Structure 1
């Protein structure tokens, strides 16, 4: 295998799939997107494989050698076999699909498949804010809350692929319902839709708020409206954001106390909005965490951009290639 051969990198989302050619240094040579087609496993898989075949053809036209395929998907995966778990929420059509084998069969290239936030975590390790760190965690705060753990220089997957599901750390034993079936999960307080839901609940019991002027109606309310109103000093929005900061602080403290990382990377749209309120997040984190664990860590909001998922899939392939056969690239 040529060390400079590129990786065919794939990020499969609930609505869009992206595929590109990425060098081992993280340079994106090309990237294309296509809708993730619904209505049945065959249709979803057919669309994904068609995009991958087109991307491989693009590599041939460019004279780019390929070493393998890295694929990130939104759910638990058996990374050893490339089989997707049964409880993939965003793409139930792929539940139980042996995706790694199907990709290898279609492209005649070795393939590595894993959870998309695990791939993102490795991307930060290889190319981003966590480069050089041996002990770190990543929280992707957006429409959901994804997590990744990288400890002692290795990605933590656990015995069945659920390692790093940090969005489901309980922060309130009798708290808000989560889509996973549990209650009080971190995700139920700090994801974008859940922040908006908490604001709507508060509005129903309030006499007025700048939130309504921003959003137009409770139904149109988003997390971005909540943060904007809080930044302008609206009392109701400030109260909601304070509860979000408290829940996030409790979750971060659980990570610090449980794993003692040197770094926690916060990314995603909610993390970008929270950056203006990090003093409150850190205040609550410090209140719940061991002092030694808190002082040893850096907690950083990182805007990693839309290309991060494609770089992450490349890092995923390189990580597994090194783990299975040689030194890290």
Structure 2
């Protein structure tokens, strides 16, 4: 995973005077005493469970036995009904994979240098379906419809994440797409060459060769889906799920001969605008760059 501030790193490395360096460290997060002031630790403390919080949470969880709530919660799909879409249904069940999962895990590496490669719709199907697609459905007890399950664990099977992608090199038009797991298609929500803008708001270069990548995956979370049942604790579940999906994406790319690199540094709200997320109830969580591994790529 790549997350760095190049300018800050260069300034830090340029400090040679020991006293200046010590002063710099004392005022930075490299000093453990400053870690305690982070909001991340405050959130972690407030999301810890106690007997009281479990009792309170139990009341909210109990409300999910209502058939009406179950029917609504069973449809965690964002959709763009007026957009052009590209079906991937023909590829369902087509691919017969023989690679051993243990060898795939062992050989997985973050790939940062790519050769120009037009990713196929079949490859996109494999990446999206096996990362976060629907793999089982059961009828809702006492209600109508079905409860769908995905390829990753999810707190309460509520599946708060949405997957978007920017296609840079493919047979499809360049632009931002949204994955519809219930329809097994991708919706074109923002057609344009967004690479120049993405290079300004994703901090990956020069380490990652963005111009040559085949596509970029964006993982967002719709907070209400999980928080309405689990409250503060639910945000932990959401972040866990982002990790599950990111790892799936990375392993699938490895299995089908592609490279990937998870990026942790980007301008959140600029990406939110591109994927049409409001940045409050839905926001970007992770970015994964995908491409064909270059012969010049070194092990990392």
TM range (shorter): under 0.3
What is the TM-score with the length of structure 2 in the denominator? 0.23
Higher RCO structure (Cα 8 Å, ≥6 apart): 2
Of Structure 1 and Structure 2, which has the larger fraction of its residues in helix? 1
What is the TM-score with the length of structure 1 in the denominator? 0.21
